[in-house]
Amino acid sequence: MIGFVLRRLAQLVPVVVMAALAVWALVYALPGDPAAVLGGVNASDQEIEAIRQRLGLDRPVWEQFATWLGHVVRGDMGTSITSGHSVTSLLATAIPATVQLAVLAMIVVVLVAVPLGTVVALAPRSWPGRLVKGYLSLSLATPPFWLGLLLILLFSVRWKLMPASSRYVAFFDDPAGALQNSLLPALALGVYSGGVLARFVASSLAEAMQSDYVRTARSKGASEVRVVVRHAARNSMLPSLTVGALQLGSLIGGAVVMEVLFNYPGVGKLMFTSVNGRDYASLQGSIMFITVVFLLLSLVVDLLYAVLDPRIRLR
């Protein structure tokens, strides 16, 4: 198991380097002097010259990449031109905020997807089943940002229960404050993603309920609850797990719209400001972070697969 994790981590290295190459090339693909691009429109000649020195822009291309990568590995991703802070320090404040929001949203996703998916899988033709199916279609058709706006309108503007503009309050310092600030964006994100996941939960559980081993369990005289919980549930979890992990990844990396909407200081917001301000150093840092998150999540999914399914052996 440990050997497997180490090997998989080692296999990630070339992937990360490839991703880094793409992120690095982002700047070089733009017209003009990369140093000028990184320095921004208002940079002085000295500032641009300093960047040029730091990145070794007078040396061959592959050396430039190696130099940049060397800086990144040491935690130096340059300076943000919009804030003047180092990209590393910007990420260091944005990442915890985003992770907290993503975890909260994921809890909402699971609370929505598992019960609703189970109802649809077990009783698709009953009235609760039809009702849930109707709701799921509706929720998939509802853009998350619209739901976010609605939540702000109701909870912040009309009832004044939550702030319209969310701050990041660490959950372990002040749980109530954290919930007050993060709950609305988490709901807006989680309700939509939960609807997506619920469909996968429903279809894989329904498939498991048609399987031969469920028939065997019924022929043993096991109750329906036992058949679902002990036999079908674990087998049906595998496909949902992959989808769930991808959603968590997109919650961490892609909550741009929601973070901007709620003015929540996470990675998504950072990306938004970077793009607006042509802050390429910050953008590079954010994209690198998201890449690594997705790669690590896929590793976690593989490990969970092995835990859930004895047929998958880690070698």
Partner 1 sequence: MSLRSAVPVLGGAPDPCDGPGSPAPLLSIEDLRVAFGGGDQAVAAVRGVSYEVYPGETLGVVGESGSGKSVTVMAALGLLTTATAATVTGRVLFEGQDLLAMSAPQRRRVLGRDIAMVFQDPVSALNPVQRIGDQIAEMIRLHEPGVSRGDARRRAVALLEMVGVPHPGVRARQYPHEFSGGMCQRAVIALAIANRPKVLIADEPTTAVDVSVQAQLLEVLRTAARETGAATVLISHDMGVVAEMADRVCVMYGGRVVETGPLARVFGHPRHPYTEGLLACIPRLGDPVARLTPIPGQPPTPYLLGKGCAFAPRCAHRSGREVCLGERPELVVVDGEGRGGVAAACHFLAEREVPGLRQAPPAAAASASASASAASAVVSSPAASAVSSSDSAVSSPAAGGEGREGGGALLEVRELSKEYPMRSGLLGRRTGAVRAVRGLSLVVRPGETVGLVGESGCGKSTTARLLMRLEEPTSGSVVFDGEEVTGASAGRLRELRRRMAMVFQDPKASLNPQLSVGANVAEPLRLAGGWSRPARRERVAELFDQVGLARHHLERRPSELSGGQRQRVAIARALALRPKLVIMDEPVSALDVSVQAQVLNLLADLKAELGLAYLFVSHDLSVVRHVSDRVAVMYLGRIVELAGRDDIFERPRHPYTQALLRSVPSAEVEVARRGRRAPLQGDPPSPLNPPEGCSFRSRCPLAEEACGREVPLLRVHDGLPGEVACHLAGAGGTGAAGGPAALSAGAGW
Question: Which pair of tokens denotes residue 194?
Answer: 């939960």
Q: Position of tokens 């990360």? A: 16
209 near partner 1 (CB under 8 A) = yes
Question: In the range 235-264, which residues lie near partner 1 by CB under 8 A?
Answer: 235
119 near partner 1 (CB under 8 A) = no
**Which range of residues in 7-15, 30-38, 244-252, 296-304 is near partner 1 by CB under 8 A?**
7-15
DSSP 60-89: -HHHHHHHHHHHHHTT---B-TTT-SBHHH
Question: Which pair of tokens denotes residue 175?
Answer: 């749980």
Nearest to 302 by CA among 312, 293, 292: 312
215 near partner 1 (CB under 8 A) = yes
Question: Which pair of tokens denotes residue 93?
Answer: 């404040």
Rounded Cα–Cα distance for residues 4 and 102 (Å): 27
311 near partner 1 (CB under 8 A) = yes
Q: Position of tokens 């998989």? A: 8
Rounded Cα–Cα distance for residues 315 and 159 (Å): 56
218 near partner 1 (CB under 8 A) = yes
**Which range of residues in 56-64, 73-81, 93-101, 215-223 is near partner 1 by CB under 8 A?**
215-223
Residue in 93, 211, 242, 298 binding partner 1, rule: CB under 8 A: 211
310 near partner 1 (CB under 8 A) = yes
Residue 74 Cα distances to 35, 67, 205, 296, angstroms? 20, 11, 46, 20
Residue in 206, 246, 257, 299 binding partner 1, rule: CB under 8 A: 206
223 near partner 1 (CB under 8 A) = yes
Catalog residues that contact partner 1 under the rule CB under 8 A.
7, 10-11, 206, 209-213, 215-224, 230-231, 234-235, 308-311, 315
